[in-house]
Amino acid sequence: MADLILVLDEGTTSTRAILFDSSGTAVATRAAELSQHYPEPGRVEHDAAEIWEQTLACARAVIEQIGGPERVAAIGITNQRETIIFWDKRTGEPLAPAIVWQDRRTAAICRKMRQNGEESTVQARTGLLLDPYFSGSKIAWAMEHWPQLGEAGEHLAIGTVESWLVWKLTGGLHITDATNASRTLLMALGSGNWDDGLVALFDAPRAALPEIVDCAGQFGTTSLFGGEIPICGLAGDQQSALIGQTCFERGDTKGTFGTGAFILTNSGNTPPKSRNRLLSTIAWQIGGQRTYAMEGSIFVAGSLIQWLRDSVGLIDAAAETEELANAVPDNGGVYVVPALAGIGAPWWEPDARGTISGLSFATGRAHIVRAALEAMAHQTQDLKSAFVSDKISWSRLRIDGGMVANNWMAQDLADIVNLPVERPRFAETTALGAAMLAGLGCGWFDTLEDAAAMRGPVDSFEPALGKAARQKRLDGWHLAVHSVIGEAHD
């Protein structure tokens, strides 16, 4: 009996396969690390073949664990957004490295376009800004610098990660869902279609782009696991987490703290417009009807802790950070601005560089680690202020992602954002959202709201920090972040 949904959750540093039942329980899981390559400062690449091979291996492992494909009703896919892949339609093999969303190589391209007055038009059409974060400038750079792409001619395929996985699973179906398409700088937010003017602006070969489809439905089948399994759910990771957190009402807000951190608020059926450099994006598209979200993007979150561990050697494991943060009464005047890959919303300064300030002989390892964790709450509060300026208020913040298992950090978020914070006991809501979409697409549910019970119970954190202490923290943060922004402009 087909009683499970297989989710392929392809992140920035790992890929996972998870099997869910209809109650939202994960009955089997397998994960594998993904290699990140840094050929030059500011450049971040993946091997698309490795993404596929590791995803396939994880999927096969969990399907074998449950006894075979006949128990799998559908596949849902969720993925790191904005990462762009180039492959040959004839061979199905990559033609170049995948350019990762964190990559900053196109900063000069974006700056030139802004200087030429293109940003206002781009923002009006896409809801996005001219930043290396998005896929469009990556495509423009690749078409100029990698001649093999032009040489492929009509056989060139370009797509984000879910597009690549669907192609490999089905043997040649070239599609992308509306959430991922909305992150490319090539799609018109209002129509949900590729925009000819934007496609031309970024020199993207129109014939190489995939067809834009809904987030739930029937998107071909795969026979790679010993039986026919339909692909029924597709969404970028942040939109998938919004669904997994059951943010189905206008104003519902979630924050995912993974490699980066992303705050999304359900904005209803009309594209929101920001005057504070926030992003408008598609939350989901079902039956051709789009629901929109306002988004604030923080580029460096969990990757900061990884950097403290792997590059600086300040900790041996991420789990140590909670104990270290509790080991000191405050940050000792230390502030970390984690602009290791530029700084995102609401600043959008790709040339900013990270700093650790306020050091003295009294500073210890625990102060620096605590300040690194505090930076998550500081950046989130910056976003909250920007959302409020755009007349979008949060009543609570629903959090998820690998970082939020840290109770100290969850409480610090509540203290600094000064709102109740909810954390599901099953924190992998990105994968859960993809399961909900696939369940809708294969007929388990009639609406997304019907899938809400899959979220399960939550833990709540209430603000407890005094007003003066909170303001002192924020004042110190504002001095630190403005010094970084000022240096980037010098």
Tens digit of each residue's pLDDT (9 = 90 or more) over 383-430: 999 999 888 889 899 999 888 989 999 999 999 999 999 999 887 899
Q: How confident is residue 471, by pLDDT bands cut at 50, 70 and 90?
A: very high
Q: Tell me if 172 is assigned to some domain.
A: yes
Q: What are phi and psi of 28, to 5 degrees?
A: -160, 145
Q: How confident is residue 340, by pLDDT bands cut at 50, 70 and 90?
A: confident
Indicate which CATH number applies to the domain containing 198: 3.30.420.40
Q: Tell me if 81 is assigned to some domain.
A: yes
Q: Does residue 175 surpass a pLDDT of 80?
A: yes
Contact 433, 4 (CB under 8 A): no
Average pLDDT of 367-381? 95
Q: Tell me if 483 is assigned to some domain.
A: no
Q: How confident is residue 76, by pLDDT bands cut at 50, 70 and 90?
A: very high
Determine the pLDDT at residue 401: 85
For residue 244, what are the contacts with CB-CB under 8 A and spacing of at least 6? 400, 428, 429, 430, 431, 432, 433, 434, 436, 454, 455
Report the interhelical angle of 48-65 vs 161-170 (nearest 10°).
Answer: 60
Determine which of 427-436, 447-456, 474-483 has the lowest per-residue pLDDT on average.
447-456
Contact 368, 334 (CB under 8 A): yes
Average pLDDT of 144-154? 93
Q: How confident is residue 370, by pLDDT bands cut at 50, 70 and 90?
A: very high
CB neighbour burial string for 285-314, b if at least 16 within 10 angstroms, e if fewer: bbeeebbbbbbbbbbbbbbbbebbbeeeeb
Q: What is the largest CA-CA distance in the chain?
A: 65
Q: Tell me if 45 is assigned to some domain.
A: yes
C-alpha–C-alpha distance, residues 441 and 66, integer Å = 22
Q: Cβ–Cβ contacts within 10 Å for residue 472, how many?
A: 13
What's the structural domain count of the chain? 1
Q: Does residue 81 surpass a pLDDT of 70?
A: yes
Taking only the tens place, the pLDDT of each residue in 17-49 is: 999 998 889 999 999 988 889 998 889 999 999
Determine the pLDDT at residue 487: 60
Domain that holds residue 13: 4-237
Q: Does residue 337 surpass a pLDDT of 80?
A: yes
Q: Tell me if 35 is assigned to some domain.
A: yes
Q: Tell me if 293 is assigned to some domain.
A: no
Q: Tell me if 215 is assigned to some domain.
A: yes
- pTM here? 0.86
Helix (H) or strand (E) holding 168: helix 161-170
Determine the pLDDT at residue 436: 96
Q: Tell me if 362 is assigned to some domain.
A: no
Q: Does residue 2 surpass a pLDDT of 90?
A: no
